[in-house]
Amino acid sequence: MTLNQTDFEYLAKFVLEHSAISLGSDKMYLIESRLAPLCRQYGVANVSEIVASIRQNPRSKLSSSIVDAVTTNETYFFRDAKPFDELAKETLPRIIAKKGARSTLNVWSAACSSGQEIYSVAMMLEDSFPELKNWDVKLYASDISNAMVERTKAGVFNQLEVGRGLPAALLIKHFNRKGESFHVKDYLKGRLQVFPLNLASTWPSLPSFDIVFLRNVLIYFDPVVKQEILQKTERVLAKDGVLFLGGSESTLGLKTKLVREIGKFCPWYRLPSS
């Protein structure tokens, strides 16, 4: 049985309320195919039964499985290259020089998916910034999807995943092979704090971040939600902090204090100078 319009509308509203992800009616087929594996997992006959179940019990475990299933978790190591070039060659040298004796550095991957983004940063810091060895460097990663939070914490990747964007030398240096999978070494994992966070909901108290990666997630939200998330990001960005958005994302047309800079390798955002 395929999903009827009423059930689709209920699901779309449910997903919007739980994740702020806005699903147009053109996404009906996509939703059905994303939720199909849950039917097997929860032993129900079809997606309409899933809808019936969450109508009855919207706070069940199934609810978070639905959010997990509809999120798009596409990611890879050193995705889009340019923000990582900007970070290594421009942003970090500038921030390190400005900080002087204040030897702390906080980096946040704010929609981390399975963790490739924050592990890319971790490897870069380890390999290219020996001067940070005695600094208090903290790497934070969060995602709305509990499954992605767990994956990031685990730092375990398959052959296909390590084949996307990760230079062989870094694979050899920073991962242990166990059978068919590749495990990030403990010294990198140990620097990470990973937590669940729905960017569209109220944020907990967070540290002040020198670098924020908020990439390839704003695209799923409507302009009001995007604006609210950017305004919350302003409040956690350090005075000389740097925000990277995804290649197809910008603050254009949104009410935000953030100032766009044309970097050497890619655009980035900062707070206005006081």
State the residues that interact with ligand SAM by CB under 6 A: 19-21, 71-75, 79, 111, 113, 117, 143-145, 148, 197-200, 215-217, 220, 246
Task: Rank residues 74 and 180 by Cβ distance to ligand SAM and give the closer one.
Answer: 74
In the complex, the smallest distance separating the C-beta of residue 226 from ligand SAM, rounded to whole angstroms, is: 11
Nearer to ligand SAM, 111 or 243 (CB): 111
Minimum distance from CB of 79 to ligand SAM (Å)?
Answer: 4
Q: Which tokens in the block code for residue 235?
A: 């409040």
Residue among 46 and 227 whose Cβ is closer to ligand SAM: 227
In this structure, the dihedral spanned by the alpha carbons of residues 36, 37, 40 and 44, taken in order and rounded to 10 degrees, is -30
**48 versus 218: smaller Cβ distance to ligand SAM:** 218
Question: In this complex, which beta carbon is closest to ligand SAM, that of residue 8 or of residue 108?
Answer: 108
Residue type, 109: S
Closest distance of CB 11 from ligand SAM, Å = 15
User: What tokens were used for 155?
Assistant: 């730092």
> Shortest Cβ distance from residue 23 to ligand SAM (Å)?
12
The nearest distance, CB 111 to ligand SAM, in angstroms, is 3
Nearer residue to ligand SAM within complex by CB, 27 or 99: 27
**Residue closer to ligand SAM (CB basis): 50 or 212:** 212
CB of 17: closest distance to ligand SAM in angstroms?
11
Query: Which of 272, 211, 268, 205 is closest to 232 using CA atoms?
Result: 205
Cβ 98 to ligand SAM shortest distance, Å: 26
